[in-house]
Chain A
Amino acid sequence: MNAQLPSIRRRLVVQLALVAALLSVAFFLTVRGVAGNATEQTQDSILAASAASIADAVYSDDGAVRVELPYSALSMLGTVSEDRVFYRVIVDGETLTGYDDLPVPSGRAGPRAPLFDTYTYRGDSLRSVVISRALSGASRPRRVEVVVAQTRLGLEVISARITGTATAIAVAFFLVATALSALAARNALQPLNRLAETMARRGPKDLRPVTDETPEELAPLVAGLNSFMQRLGAALTRSEDLIVEAAHRVRTPLATVRTQAEVMHLQVEKPANRSALRQMIRAVDESSRSAGQLLDHAMVTLRSDQLETEETDPGELLHDVVGRLGPTAELKDITIRLELPPEQTRVMGDPILLQNAVRNILDNAIKYSAAETDITVRLEPGNPCRLVFCDQGRGFAAADITRLPDRFSRGSNVSDVVGSGLGLTIVADVARAHGGSLEIADNPEGAGACVTLVLPSC
């Protein structure tokens, strides 16, 4: 297996989810930041208003500076939250009233412009404001500073609430976005899945270009696929052409040699010469037959590798082959008896391969049968489906029966007959490619042998 990359869909979903997560975090940070600022500003403005109202309540009475703390100055601080409140009124650096030790926010600010600070006082973090004003008294102007401070617990509560809400929204957004991403990824990849399904449904020999409508992103893939299939098709055709061509190249000169030998044989009278020429012709026949079967075998292997099955009538197939080999049998006055069941049968297979296998069996049977004998060809339908060929020839030597389907293996008792030993190998290969087998046995009805091509069903 190739190392598999993670699925595109998963990667797409993960990447979209990452984007969604980033957006969620950005959203969360923004909301918290903005809300945090807003609440802080709210507190600041209330603090400033409180300090301003106290500053306004400072008055000069008979040369003494007094302040009448307005009720609202402190109660307004209690409206938003339950924070602790501290205040201090300072006149010319001396505390007039309030908390003596409350620190004054440091820094410079314009007259009546609030100056803010954050510090820790009595164990809590305080937001504090100071407002200064000049009090024009009877004798001399006095400098009044009003400090109002408040703890930030309410702020924290609000902030926590906003954070909670922002978190909930961000999480919800993330979940929804991720779910939508998964959906989108599935939709986006549907054409790809469809293409994959289309390709998977195809037969091994179906090398037609893909013409389905595909999104433009898939166009290069489909184009590549089509070009690859075209090249594959061309390569397969080339292979078959090569075999055909090879057969022609080998057979044509052999045919010429054979013809000339034959012509010479007719003209020569001396028995020794005639015998030599006969030997020569037989040798030519042998090579020709071997070459033919080698090439047939190559073709069978090529086709078996990508078996393309179709419904075939085995009876018709047997009938064709018997008809085709009839003249050959006739030469030796051999009668072929074809026994077919009355009903039509069907087998799934490559008709060309099956025909080749059947022809090889029958060809062998004719070759090894004596003149004026019978060959029985019988179709036994069912599961399994049996194509039986029985002759009255010399049969197989017991030791050969398992060995014969091996490549180039010939029976030990047939040295006098031209043969390559590939015939039964081809048959066995074809049987295997169809999920069947080849059986070789003695003819139960006397002399000779029975060769059976067993197919799963018909």
Chain B
Amino acid sequence: MRYLLVEDNADLAAALTGRFALAGHVVDHADCLNDAELATRTTDYDLILLDIMLPDGDGRSFLKRHRAADNPTPVIVLTARSEVSDRVGLLDLGADDYITKPFDYTELEARVRAVLRRLGGAAANTREFAGLSFDSTTGMISAAGSSEQLRNRETRLLEVFFAAPGQVFSKSHLMDRLFSFSDEVSENAIEVYVGRLRRKLASSEATIETVRGLGYRMVRRE
């Protein structure tokens, strides 16, 4: 999927771009409203992540123009301002959701997923591997004519494997992807989710393999 990130903080922008890339998404970065306008004019984005305080103006005016132009691309606002007063105003201006800085990447990811799901999702988001079809937005998997709904953490875990089938992911990497920093969980929790995922993938050719001492990877069952 292709996202536009409008954010003047270069560090934050780089980090977010990196995180979205891990999930297989392409992120274009604009550090001012001017660049953002240009980008939206030339490219169709699946989602816009919009900072409010930008060097050349207020993100809200961009949002207003965006909605006035009937542009259907969903917008999630990244705000560092107070929740109380901004919330109503932002949603009224046409933001699909907003998140307050600083935020945990997993929460942003969850909100992106929720927004995309609410807007009907995108067909392009369905990927296949070894006879297993997976929609990372809705968390639906199907194989051999039967489909099953994954839970949120299972979905996100499977999404990691789908981004690079065959690649080994360490337990700590998976933990970073699955849990927020505020969750105090042990690495053993990963084993629980991997176990569940294996059971739900049982009807397909795909499975999660343990690479002893290194981690896990998704492979075609032999």
Contact = CB atoms under 8 A, between A and B. Distances in A.
Whether A associates with B in a native complex is yes
Interface of A: 240, 243-244, 247-248, 251-252, 254-260, 262-263, 265-266, 269, 271, 274, 278, 281-282, 284-285, 288, 292, 295-296, 299-300, 303, 324, 326-328, 330-333, 351-353, 355-356, 359, 367, 371-372, 416-418
Nearest to A277: B181
A281 B182 CA distance: 9
A292 B83 contact: yes
Interface in B13-52: 14-16, 18
Contacts of A303: 84
B70 interface: no
B80 A265 contact: no
A434 to B, nearest CB: 15
B176 interface: yes
B84 A254 contact: no
Contacts of B101: 251-252, 254-255, 288
Given A284-B102, A296-B84, 20 more contacts: A244-B85, A247-B82, A248-B53, A248-B80, A251-B81, A255-B101, A256-B9, A259-B9, A262-B181, A263-B14, A299-B84, A299-B85, A327-B111, A328-B107, A330-B152, A331-B107, A353-B84, A355-B87, A356-B84, A418-B182
Contact of B107 (A284, A327, A417): A327
B172 interface: yes
Given A282-B182, A331-B110, A251 B85 contact: no
A330 B183 CA distance: 14
Contacts, number: 124
Contacts of A251: 80-81, 100-102
B181 A285 contact: yes
B106 interface: yes
A288 B182 CA distance: 13
A248 B86 CA distance: 12
A352 B102 contact: no
Nearest to A261: B181
B29 to A, nearest CB: 13
Contacts of A416: 184
28 contacts: A240-B85, A244-B85, A247-B80, A247-B82, A252-B53, A252-B80, A255-B80, A259-B11, A260-B15, A262-B15, A262-B181, A263-B14, A266-B176, A281-B181, A284-B102, A285-B181, A299-B85, A327-B97, A327-B111, A328-B107, A330-B110, A331-B153, A331-B180, A332-B183, A333-B153, A352-B85, A352-B88, A355-B88
Task: Sort A-B residue pairs by CB-CB distance and give the 6 closest, nearest first.
Answer: A255-B102, A251-B80, A327-B110, A255-B101, A259-B15, A327-B114
Contacts of A324: 97
Interface string B50-78: 00010000000000000000000000000
Contacts of B110: 327-328, 330-331
B49 to A, nearest CB: 13
B177 to A, nearest CB: 10
A333 B152 contact: yes
B82 A299 contact: yes
Contacts of A255: 9, 12, 80, 101-103
Interface string B90-103: 00000001001111
Contacts of A332: 152-153, 183
B151 interface: yes
Contacts of B152: 330-333
B105 interface: yes
Contact of A263 (B15, B86, B104, B153): B15
A300 B84 CA distance: 8
Contacts of A254: 101-102
Nearest to A249: B80
Counting chain A CB atoms within 10 Å of each CB, which of B85, B107, B111, B152 scores highest?
B85
B198 interface: no
Contacts of A328: 107, 110
Contact of B102 (A285, A299, A353, A355): A285
Nearest to A282: B181
Contact of A285 (B16, B182, B184): B182
B220 interface: no
Nearest to A293: B83
B200 interface: no
Given A262-B15, A266-B176, A328-B107, A295 B102 contact: no
